[in-house]
Amino acid sequence: MNLPAYETLLSDMVDAHVLLVTLNRPHVGNALNTQMGADFLDLWTRLTEDAGDVRCIVLKGAGDKIFCAGGDLKERNGMTKAQWIKQHQLFERMYWALTDLPIPVIAAVNGHAYAGGFETVLSCDFAYASNTARFALTEVTLGIMPGAGGTQNLPRAIGERKAKEMLMTGQPINAQKALDWGIFNAIAEPSEVVPMAIKTAQTIASNAPLSVRQIKKSVRYGHQMELRTAFRFEVEAYNHLVETEDRYEGVLAFNEKRKAVFKGR
C-alpha cells in the first residue's frame, strides 16, 4: 500500500495485510492538531476508497507514555470562534471517516488517552490497553463537552450511568476499571500492548476480508435497529457473500483439509 508521508502520522505495513498507524507528535503527547486532523482524514478516506492489500489496521501512539492527550490546546489558545468551529468540523469529518472505515481498526492504547484521544479509541472497533494507562473525557473541565462521539460511543460501550459519571466529572479511570467496564478487550504490560494488537490483526487478516467487512457493517448498523430489522439486515449482508470466490475457497479448503487462501473476491 503506497501512502503519502504524513507530517503527524507514521504508517508501516507490518506484513502483507496489516497496517500499523502511529500518532507521531510525541513532544506534545501526540495531541490532535489541525494537521493531524487533515492527515487522518486523508488516510481514512484513501483506505475507504481503495484499501489495497490492507485488511486490518492497528492504531497506536508514539512513545510509551501517552497514546493521545486530546486536542492541542496550545494551538487552540487564541483561536477565534470561526477558527475553532472550522477546526472542529475537520475533526468531525475525520472521526466519521474512521467510524465508516470498512476495514477493522484495533486501538493499541500504549499510554494515557484523554478527551479527543479517548474518543479516538472509542471510535475504533475494539481496543487493548497498557495496564499503567489512565483514561478520561476531560472536556467538562475546560468549559466544553465531548464533540467527537464521546457522549454517544461511551454509553454504548459501558452503559448510561457509568458514562455520565465519566463525562460529568471529567475524572480519569485506570486500566483495570476500564477493562471491567468493557472499554477494553484486554490490558497488558506496556511493551505487550502493540504486539497483542498486531497478533489479533494478523488473525483477522487471515480470514476472508469480504466476510470481515460485512460483519463490521452488520454489527455497526444492526446495533442501531430493532431486532427483527437488524436480523434482516444481517441476512442481506450474508447473501452478498454467497457467490464470492472466497466462499467457494473456504468450503473447498475445509474439505481438502488445508488453510484457505482468501483473495477478497
Catalytic residues: 119, 139
Closest CA to 137 of 111, 164, 170: 170
Q: How long is the chain?
A: 265
Gap between the Cα atoms of 33 and 39, Å rounded: 10
Instruction: Characterize the bridge pairing of strands 18-23 and 56-61.
Output: parallel
| DSSP state for residue 241 in the 8-state scheme | T
* Torsion over CA: 24, 34, 149, 201 (sign): negative
Number of neighbouring beta carbons within 10 Å of residue 216 = 17
- C-alpha to C-alpha distance for 44 and 54, rounded to whole angstroms: 12
In the numeric block, which cell numbers belong to residue 193?
500492548
Contact 153, 118 (CB under 8 A): no
